[in-house]
Amino acid sequence: MSSDQSHQSVWLVTGASRGIGAAIVARAHQEGCRVVIVARGAEALSTAERLGPGAIAIQADVSDVAAAQGAIEKTMATFGRIDVVVNNAGVHRGGKVERLSPEDWQTVLNVNLTGALNMIRAAKPHLQPGSSIINIGAVVGFRGFPGDVAYASSKAGLSGMTNALAIEMGKQGITVNLVVPGLVLTDMTSGLSDAAMENMKAKIPMGRLGQDREVAEVVYWVSQSRYMTGATVPVDGGLMCSFGVVSP
């Protein structure tokens, strides 16, 4: 996607009403792109209002096939194209395997993994050569963390999905990549105990939490890369390469 095209492109971002998703749509909008904010809650509407012209909100549950299809149809009716799909929607249900309920397990997979597939399947007929799909992963999809079996499994699944779809869509000129944030202070991570937070921070070589805008910067850059596909791009302050190392 050239710089001229980027100023007319349409981004659809799921889970975009807050946190990393909101930072991604803000960055794309700042670059002159039109943005579609997809989220379940009413916060999507206020996020779109705050951004102003060129931003619309669609309240939809990505785990619902019909809702995902409806979001794509509304995007096409409004803007007539889709250039970048960012699968950021996610839920977290913790608990070690013996305490994790079947309902929580299924909820996490339905939103984090199946939800991404629903959006991709609905969007694919409208994607042109030069389009980009970016899935948002997590460090725990690659490195073990006790009590995170559902979330880790869903994010590991996104990695496999990214690789398979990169091959499937490569000849169509559509790139599919995975961006992996590290420990970023959002509503989701704010539920961690102080002890867990300090334990994680001690493993980050850069010695601090990430900021959602830092992830958004990398997501935007990935969307512009035309020859990179099937890649895993960490934005984690070095966490993945030092996971499990005890700081001196």
How far out from the chain centre does Cα 203 lie?
A: 23
Q: Whole-angstrom Cα distance, residue 34 to residue 51? A: 10
Q: Using an 8 Å Cβ cutoff, are 158 and 135 in contact?
A: yes
Q: Whole-angstrom Cα distance, residue 93 to residue 17? A: 20
Measured in degrees and rounded to the nearest 5, phi and psi for residue 144 equal -70, 145
At 240 the three-state DSSP class reads: helix
Strand boundaries in the chain, DSSP class E? 10-14, 34-39, 55-59, 84-87, 132-136, 175-181, 232-235
| Catalytic residue selected from 36, 63, 87, 151 | 151
**Quick check: is 151 catalytic?**
yes
Residue given tokens 């880790």 in the structure block: 152
Q: Which are the catalytic amino acids?
A: 151
